[in-house]
Amino acid sequence: MEIIVCIKQVPGTTNVKIDTQRGTLIRDGVESIMNPFDEYALEEGVRIKEKYGGRVIAITMGPPQAEAVLREAISRGADEGVLLTDKAFAGADTWATSYTLSEGIKKIGAYDMIICGKQAIDGDTAQVGPSLAEHLNIPHCAYVRKIENIDIENKYIIVHRMMEDGTDVIKMPLPALITVVKEINTPRLPSFKRMVLAKKAQLAVWGQKELRCDVNKIGLKGSPTNVEKVFTPPPRHGGEYIEGTPQEQARKLIEKLKQLQII
Amino acid sequence: MANIYIIEERCVGCGLCVKECPYSAITLVYKKEQQTAATDKKLKTAVIDLNKCTYCGACVDACKKYAAIVLQKEEEARIEAGKDEYRGVWVFAEQRHGKISEVVFELLGVGRKLADKLKVPLSAVLIGYKVEQYAQELIYYSADRVYVYDDEKFAEFRDEVYTKVLADLIKEEKPEIVLMGATAIGRSFASRVATRLHTGLTADCTELDIDPQTRDLLQTRPAFGGNIMATIRTPRHRPQMATVRHKVMKPAPYDTSRKGEIIKKKSDSIIPQWNQFIQFIEDTTQKVNLADADIIVSGGRGLGKPEGFKLIEELATLLGGAVGASRAAVDAGWISYSHQVGQTGRTVAPKLYIACGISGAVQHLVGMSSSKVIVAINKDRDAPIMKVATFALVGDLYEIVPAIINELTKKENVAKEVA
């Protein structure tokens, strides 16, 4: 099984500040981490590889320092890392990001599965996975909570997709893309041996020239959506403390909720 | 023709562009809302005289720091010209297991407002099997037109099938706005549709409005777990697509005197036989699903034991609500992941969220802080959850929750006796 795992480097906290003059995010001084959902994607890829053989290639698009998440991926079991980085990629929305990733994946070559996290914790869109599948013209399934079966010979997988009201069981022909939720596994920690390996690993670093992709479809220029402004929502102010014995607290609370016509 | 304009919110009135413009086409004027105010430079904004402008772009370079000036070259302007062929507001009428999703009525509510502002019809697209009877309902809920695809092959949701049908219809009919629910279905295949049509898609919007000048949809959404809000525009591409968060928009009113048109459609196009639906496994632990729930009662580490969720469930059932949980409770194995609220679980925005024994780590707060009313029950008066709660109750949840249940059932019994 040739497995590609898409990873994003994100700020370690969602408590970000805005430069009000420029209307951009202040990223300086904020520690960067691997997007939490991508840890599950990576773990699932590594588990499949351990069972069926093959390779796991981690790919990311981002600034040069995003190579750190690729090394982390290798320390957690990936075999190789591909960094797509270029000034021309900057400012990409989900359309341009998934286009760029699709060009990177085409350059990698043949694969059986692509695994992504459900969404990134900074953008929260959950759009790049499905959009990437569309660019590559392969089937996808989002919100996968379990892979029930992998049939290498007949080239299909059976997955459990998490819906609001339960689970859909879906059979997908390979190659296919899935996005995964937290429930799918418990990611391992990096091993010391692999950390040494990761430090030395040679990463592929590709820009627009290497990908030979359409300059009109990448970065800010290739993005159909534009961020017009960013602002901090008004903070939610705490209300009131309801005091008294538990019985009094309960009675007062219910009165207030009835007044607000909530119950 | 090229096109140039200034984004007034970004312009700080620094005057750099004025100096750079070789044709003296730019002047500084006071921002409207501050016309009478002092002479501070920052209250001014640049204005371009289009009779003098040659679209050379010198001002755009001068304004790199603020990126307040937008110059669209001819190719872009040409795409922009094609925008005018697109008219109308659409809502994807998601249905599952013979039921229209709640969020659809909310989409029709906001869709109606947008359509009225743009003076265009509001249409709904219904795809499924044996769903025709819902078309009339959608008209009562303020749609002017309903496209119906009713066929056995649409019985179960499959991404590529629904993508093909919706994308083809959009190409044919050219709406300017397409709204979908930010549901498991909506967020998955909207992305495929937008990619295929090469247009913009904005996820999980909480506010939608129209810029009357450009007819652009102003899409406001939370990012970074709700710590910031962003307003997003799709200036050059059509249709403008957005998924909309549950429970944020007001549902459309139900009016059986409304008239509308039902258009039955057939899809004969060849669809790749990719994903096969095998079966649906219902979540039997959840009587009301979290996304649709008006009331959610959640339990956290403070429950201390898995049995604590029996009490949470009892209160939830009594209120007709759903059961939620913090990550700590899920990770402890007390309840299944599908109940988890927060950054790595679900984002919810019910009318009432009751947090029992949840301290309110930021990862939990981002998943529920847009709830209308938050009730927090916690031993710790200073827990973060208490700071965002509308009503904070300090004490032992094993005393307070039973007292609430007792109070509620007492009232019910009285009501029954009176009846």
CA angle at residue B349 from B347 to B355, to 5 degrees? Answer: 85
The dihedral region occupied by B359, where left means phi > 0, alpha psi between -120 and 50, and beta the remainder, is alpha
Question: Coil, strand, or helix at residue B64?
Answer: coil
pLDDT tens, per residue, chain B with 419 residues: 577 888 888 888 888 899 888 888 898 888 766 555 555 545 788 889 888 887 778 888 888 888 888 887 666 665 666 888 999 999 999 999 989 999 999 999 999 999 999 999 999 999 999 999 999 999 999 999 999 999 999 999 999 999 999 999 999 999 999 999 999 999 999 999 999 999 999 999 999 999 999 999 999 999 887 888 999 999 999 999 999 999 999 999 999 999 999 999 998 777 778 999 999 999 887 778 898 899 999 999 999 999 999 999 999 999 999 999 999 999 999 999 999 999 889 999 999 999 999 999 988 998 998 899 999 999 999 999 999 999 999 999 999 999 999 999 986 666 666 55
Q: Across the interface, do A165 and B195 touch by the CB < 8 Å criterion?
A: no
Distance from CA of A223 to the nearest CA of B (A): 8
Query: Do B306 and B361 sit in the same domain of this protein?
Result: yes
Average pLDDT over residues A231-257: 91
**A260 pLDDT tier (thresholds 50, 70, 90):** very high
Burial of A152 (0-12, 13-18, 19+ CB in 10 A): middle
Same domain, yes or no: B259 and B304: no
CA distance B261 to chain A (A): 31
Q: Which residue has the tokens 């002047």?
A: B27
Whole-number pLDDT of residue A151: 97
What is the sign, positive or negative, of the torsion defined by CA atoms of B301, B302, B304, B305? negative
Q: Please check whether residue A253 touches B, CB under 8 A.
A: yes
Do B139 and B184 fall within a single domain? yes
Separation CA B236–CA B72 (nearest Å): 9
- Chain B residue nearest residue A97, CA to CA: B195
Q: Are residues B387 and B364 in the same domain?
A: yes
Question: What tokens appear for B303 in the block?
Answer: 């429950």
Show the tokens assigned to A177: 């893309």
| Residue B354 falls inside a structural domain | yes
Q: Of B193, B390, B398, which to mutate for an interface test with A (greatest number of A Cβ within 10 Å)?
A: B390
B78 interfacial to chain A (CB closer than 8 Å): no
Asked if B178 and B226 sit in the same domain, the reply is yes
- A247–chain B nearest CA distance, Å: 5
* Three-state DSSP class for residue B118: helix
* CB-based contact, B317 to chain A, within 8 Å: no
**For A164, which of B160, B226, B289 is closest by C-beta distance?**
B289
Could you tell me if B197 and B86 are in contact, meaning their C-beta atoms sit under 8 angstroms apart? no
Q: Sorting pLDDT into bands at 50, 70 and 90, what band is A73?
A: very high
pLDDT computed for residue A155 by the predictor: 96
In chain A, residues 171-230 whose CB comes closer than 8 Å to chain B? 171-173, 176, 181-183, 223-230
Query: What is the DSSP code (8-state) at residue B326?
Result: -
| Candidate from B191, B236, B289 with C-beta closest to A130 | B191
Same domain? For B139 and B255 the reply is: yes
CB contact under 8 A, A130 and B222: no
Q: Is residue B336 part of a domain?
A: yes
* Residue of chain A minimizing CA distance to B189: A130
Specify the CATH number for the domain of residue B323.
Answer: 3.40.50.1220
Is residue B159 located within the same domain as residue B203?
yes
The Cα of B51 is separated from the nearest Cα of chain A by a number of Å equal to 26
Task: Name chain A contacts of B158, Cβ cutoff 8 Å.
Answer: 170
Considering B28, B43, B72, which residue would you say is the last residue of a domain?
A: B72
Answer whether residue B231 is part of any domain.
yes
Instruction: Decide if B77 touches A, using CB distance below 8 A.
Output: no
Nearest beta carbon to residue B195 from set A18, A98, A141: A98
| Residue B77 domain-assigned (yes or no) | no
Residues B110 and B249 in one domain: yes
For residue B238, give the chain A residue with the closest CA: A224
- Residue B98 and residue B232 share a domain: yes
Q: Would you call B382 an interface residue with chain A, using a CB distance cutoff of 8 Å?
A: no
Q: Are residues B369 and B253 in the same domain?
A: no
- Which of B224, B338, B389 lies closest to A122 in CB terms? B224
Nearest to B124 by CA among B155, B91, B164: B91
CA–CA dist A230, A199 (Å, integer): 37
Tell me the pLDDT band of A252, cut-offs 50, 70 and 90.
Answer: very high
- B358-378 exposure pattern, b = at least 16 Cβ within 10 A, e = fewer: bbbbbbbbbbbbbbebbbbbb
Most B-contacting residue of A40, A138, A168 (CB-CB within 10 A), to test interface = A168
User: Cα separation of B131 and A168, whole Å?
Assistant: 20
**Domain shared by B198 and B230, yes or no:** yes
The separation between CA B315 and the C-alpha centre of its own chain, rounded to angstroms, equals 29
pLDDT for residue B80: 64
What mean pLDDT, rounded, does chain A reach? 94
CB A103 within 8 Å of CB A229:
no
* Neighbouring-strand partners of residue A161: A144, A168
B276 lies in some domain: no
Tell me, yes or no, whether B19 and B146 share the same domain.
Answer: no
Q: What is the three-state SS of chain A?
A: CEEEEECCEEECCCCCEEECCCCEEECCCCCEEECHHHHHHHHHHHHHHHHHCCEEEEEEECCHHHHHHHHHHHHCCCCEEEEECCHHHCCCCHHHHHHHHHHHHHHHCCCCEEEEECCCCCCCCCCHHHHHHHHHCCCEEEEEEEEEEEECCCCEEEEEEEECCEEEEEEEECCEEEEECHHHCCCCCCCHHHHHHHHHCCCEEECHHHHCCCHHHCCCCCCCCEEEEEECCCCCCCCEECCCCHHHHHHHHHHHHHHCCCC
Asked if the structure places residue B270 within a domain, the reply is: no
Cβ of A182 within 8 Å of Cβ of B344? The answer is: yes
Taking 90 as the threshold, does the pLDDT of residue A238 lie above it? no
Which CB contacts under 8 angstroms, 24+ apart, belong to B327-335? B327/B361, B327/B363, B327/B364, B328/B300, B328/B301, B329/B299, B329/B300, B329/B301, B329/B303, B332/B301, B332/B306, B333/B306, B334/B299, B334/B303, B334/B305, B334/B306, B334/B308, B334/B309, B335/B285, B335/B299, B335/B306, B335/B309
pLDDT for the residue numbered B76: 62
B281 found inside a domain: no
pLDDT at B269: 74
Q: Select the residue from A34, A228, A254 to test the B interface by mutation, using most B Cβ atoms within 10 A.
A: A228
A233 vs B136, which has greater pLDDT? B136
| Domains held by chain B: number | 3
The residue out of B20, B47, B72 marking a domain boundary is B72
Determine, yes or no, domain membership for B275.
Answer: no
A182 pLDDT band, cuts 50/70/90, is very high
Percentage of chain A beyond pLDDT 70 is: 97
Q: Between chain A and chain B, how many beta carbons pairs sit less than 8 Å apart?
A: 271
Give B-chain residues touching A229 at CB under 8 angstroms: 9-10, 230-231
Q: Provide the 10 A C-beta neighbour count for residue A247.
A: 15
pLDDT bracket for residue A23 (50, 70, 90): low
Q: Does the structure's ipTM exceed the value 0.90? A: yes
Domain that holds residue B26: 3-72
pLDDT in tens, A74-126: 999 999 999 999 999 999 999 999 999 999 999 999 999 999 999 999 889 99
Compute the nearest-CA separation of A120 from chain B (Å). Answer: 9
Flag if A125 and B366 touch (Cβ within 8 Å). Answer: no
Please tell me the predicted confidence (pLDDT) of residue B183. 96
Is residue B265 within 8 angstroms of chain A, CB to CB? Answer: no
